[in-house]
Chain A
Amino acid sequence: MSVLVLLKMVPDVVEELEVSADGKSLDTSFLRTILNERDDHALEQALLLKERHGGKITVIALDAPDMDDVLFTALAKGADRAVKVTDVPEGLTTHAAARLCAQVIATGPGLLPVDLVLTGVQALDDLDGLSAPLLAQQLDFAYLGVVTGVAVDASGQGATVIKEYAGGVRGEFAVRLPAVLGAQAAEKPPRYVPVAKVRAAMKAQAIETVPAPGSGAGAALVEVQQMAKPVVSSHAEMLEGSPEEVAGKFCELLAKRGLL
């Protein structure tokens, strides 16, 4: 079977984020990007499927800082091909990025036919989780999101997909392939790959590049008007004193508010 995994970089929040002077975007001077965690799970799910069913995994990403390291890491983990889309217009909306990815999949060398397209169900800059369903719509594939498990049928024509709901409820779906799946979590945590293996992949394997097709991005439908840090409000009251005093004050407070 053939699996495509879409990978995307997002801001690393270990570093504090700053708003740039235009008040509409992130200050990129100290910004570091990191692979979207859910995309890492999508890759892990693809690797598990390959271990079970064989086949081929291609990882695809729009070019971004540190993208090569992430793609080589994917190759070291067991992906077969890595395709990087270059000359990507800046500031793509989720909608435009999904359209671009769909075009790459449709026209890129040897990317179709495909059985499954896996990507993260959400990203830090796509909390609505629009990327994957928009991509499915563009490709005219089935879509299921919040996926936590995939079993491909013996026929290879369909798959049983586990989808997570609130309150610990899970749903089991039968889906016809090809399909786009938005991964919530792989069946096991993303694997570790030793640095030496990544270095070996850098020596032995290559990243294929595909220029971004056309200028079909279209006019943006949504515009960022303002980006601002949350205003600090001072509602927290710090209780001072020895542990006994603090405990006493705390109990008093609970009693006063009628919580005891």
Chain B
Amino acid sequence: MSNGTATMDRATSELTLDNLWGTPEGQKILSCMQCGTCVGTCPYGDVIDYPPRRIIGMLKAGQIETIVKNDGLLNCVNCYACMTKCPRGIPLTEVLLPLVKEQVLANLREVPAELQKALQNTFRYGNPMGESPRKRADWVKTSDVPVRILHQDPKPTDVLWFVECYTSYHPRGQDNTRATARLLHALGVDFAILGNEEKCAGECVRLAGERGLFDTLSDYTMKLLQKYRFKRIVTSGAHAYDCFKYQYPPRGFRQEVHHTTPFLAQHIRELKPRLSKKLNYTVVYHDACALGRHNGFYDEPRTLLQAIPGVKLVEMLHNRDNAICCGGGGGGMWLDTYYKAKGCERLSDRRVKEAVETGADVLAVSCPYEVSRFEDALKVLGYEKRMIVRDVVELLAESLEA
């Protein structure tokens, strides 16, 4: 489910700001009636100098230079809010904003240090944290269940589990990964991982404006995937899911792709009888932008949470298509210091305030960026005793019989 279906059968990498007007996407953009809904719905609409409405107006007036010499668009967290609400169905987040952002990044006098480091690390080590690529699969040693690594045992697999970066390296991400391994194992899914051969799928560097880096990463991953036989990809990364679904097919990727949350929801019948441990939590679910607004997975995580005995599900004021982004998309994961220096409220802070107001004691998430972002925000705001953050898969694994 997406508003920008026009881009799906063609590599967006062929588009540039110069050739845009001759394409169906460009024609769609020209249909903008300057209503300003995009500005109203943008989580940074109050601070961003050039929201989509103004960008389109200035593009039409031939004033693109002004926009790309301004760093304001770095605030765009690619949350798909403007695109979802656009009454003309213009592919803002899918097409226009990444094209403009690429030029913004190329024209920046100084790339914010955290972002620069993340991009350089991703190029060199295949992960934004700058961890050793030879340690990517080290978490497997701490897994309760066996995890097959394809380069050690390359026989065909049903599910190729694309683990992704934060889930491979971040201590809290590894909790998600161990939980996912237990769940896949419990369901009897035939799965294997790429291990140390895996590198970042590249979605967030692409949306941060580094299309060349995305090309390098996707070329690498496409070549790697051809080495192995598998039926489908299941990934822990919400952005990786988006990437395999929309960016990889024009590069020759033909297999099915699932994100872990909706994938597990498909197995709810087998899974539910196994969820025997009662968890007496009041849970509020935060919709990840890439899963919710961009792909319509609103019910799947909620169905899973409600299958856990003892869980009481509540909702935030802004939920489903109105959810507020955690601030980590589009490079935002590596721009917190920059936002702070500009005096912008961090979106993760804004989001946990709303979550705490519900009175829930668990904030459930399904994107690997959110665990550390929300845990940090809870600490910063002094709420760490009132609420904990858990990935949906962590809660499911906790409830799973021993």
List chain A positions with a Cβ less than 8 A from chain B: 14-16, 30, 34, 188-189, 191-192, 194-199
Check if A194 sits within 8 Å of B132, measured CB to CB.
no
Which of A14, A191, A195 contacts B210, CB < 8 Å?
A: A195
Report the separation of the CA atoms of residues A15 and B110 in the bound assembly, to the nearest whole angstrom.
28
Is B342 located at the chain interface by the 8 A CB criterion?
no
CB closest chain-B residue, reference A198: B212
Which A residues are CB-close (under 8 A) to B106?
Answer: 194, 196-197
Cα A192 to Cα B123 in complex, Å, equals: 12
Docked pose: A15 CA to B209 CA in angstroms: 28
Segment at the A interface, from B1-9, B89-97, B111-119, B319-327? B111-119
Q: Is the CB of A15 within 8 A of B134?
A: yes
Of all chain B residues, the one with the shortest Cβ separation from A195 is B212
A-B pairs, top 8 by smallest CB distance, nearest first, are A196-B212, A195-B212, A192-B111, A195-B213, A192-B116, A14-B132, A194-B212, A15-B132
Contact: A14 with B125, CB < 8 Å?
Answer: yes
Query: B105: which A residues are within 8 A, CB to CB?
Result: 194
Chain B 196-220, CB within 8 Å of chain A: the 1/0 string? 0000000000000111110110000
User: Quick check: B134 and A34 within 8 Å, CB to CB?
Assistant: no
Q: Which B55-110 residues sit within 8 Å CB-CB of chain A?
A: 102, 105-106, 108, 110
Q: Is the CB of B123 within 8 A of A14?
A: no
Q: Which residues of B contact A198 (CB under 8 A)?
A: 212
- The majority secondary structure among interface residues of chain A is loop
Q: Is there an interface contact between B110 and A14, defined as CB atoms closer than 8 Å?
A: no
A15 proximity list for chain B (CB < 8 A): 132, 134
Cα separation A188 to B110 with both chains bound (whole Å): 9
A14, A189, A198: most-surrounded residue (chain B CB, <10 A): A14
Residue contacts A-B, CB under 8 angstroms, 22 given:
A14-B132, A15-B134, A16-B132, A30-B134, A188-B110, A189-B110, A191-B110, A191-B111, A192-B116, A192-B119, A194-B102, A194-B209, A194-B210, A194-B212, A194-B213, A195-B123, A195-B212, A195-B215, A196-B106, A196-B212, A197-B106, A198-B212
Query: A52 to nearest B CB, angstroms?
Result: 14
Q: Please, how many angstroms separate the alpha-carbon atoms of A196 and B102 in the complex?
A: 10
Q: How far is B115's CA from A189's CA once the two chains are assembled, in angstroms? A: 13
